[in-house]
Amino acid sequence: MIYFEIFLAFLIPGILGYGGGPASIPLVEREVVDTYGWMTTGEFAETLALGNALPGPILTKMGAYIGYETAGVLGSVVAVAASVLPSLLVMVVLASLLYKLKGTNKFKTLTSLIRPVIAILMAMIVVDFLTNSIEVSGYYHTAFLIVASFILLQIIKLHPAFVILFGLIYGALFIR
């Protein structure tokens, strides 16, 4: 049953992947290419490259496309639901439980100790992006774009939409 296979192929990466959608992509590749053979490694890499060029969460974009290619619109819906819903359901339950403690000292300790950890996890993504950008665009473009977007976002307080647009246009014109 193809829908059940699609469900499993996206359920497992959603449960095992840690650190957001992008972290689950290699697990999706294993299911889609190795386990079920719906795509070759090359096709998967090409799909991923296009997915990365477009906005929006990557795991759901991949799910939607691969599900559609494999079993039409319904396949697409199954893939997206399988990757999103299980962790979301657990999140709603867990968050509601923890929020019962709100206002207590336990909750205060919990949140103040967790914040530095989350800050480190985000700082790690920042470092990844920095290395990636230097690799792809070089030092000068990277340094210029960082300084320019910092000024536009934090000092001029331009809406992020315009700053993102600026990055896209700059990239299209000057980064080859």
Partner 1 sequence: MHWQIFKAFLRIGLLGFGGGPSSIPLVKLEVVDKYKWMTNEEFQDVLAIANVLPGPIITKVAGYITYQLKGWLGVINSLVAMILPTAVLMTVLLALFTGFKDLDWVQGMSAGVVPVVLVMLAVLTFEFLQTAKSAMTWKFLIPFTLGMLFILEFLNIHPAIVIIIIIVLSLLQKDKKEETS
Subset of 152-171 contacting partner 1 (CB under 8 A): 153-154, 160-161, 163-164, 166-171
The Cα–Cα gap between 117 and 11 comes to 27
User: Smallest distance, Å, CB 40 to partner 1?
Assistant: 15
Amino acid letter, 89? L
The CB-of-3 to partner 1 minimum distance in angstroms stands at 18
What radius of gyration do the chain's Cα atoms show?
20
Contact status: 142 vs partner 1 (CB under 8 A): yes
Closest to 9 measured CA to CA, from 66, 90, 94: 66
Tokens of 143: 């340094």
Residues 84-113 that bind partner 1 (CB under 8 A): 84, 86-88, 90-92, 94-95, 98, 101, 104-113
d(CA 135, CA 131): 6
Interaction of residue 30 with partner 1, rule CB under 8 A: no
Q: Is 40 in the site for partner 1 (CB under 8 A)?
A: no
Amino acid 115 reads R
Contacts of partner 1 in 50-79 (CB under 8 A): 50-61, 63-65, 68, 76
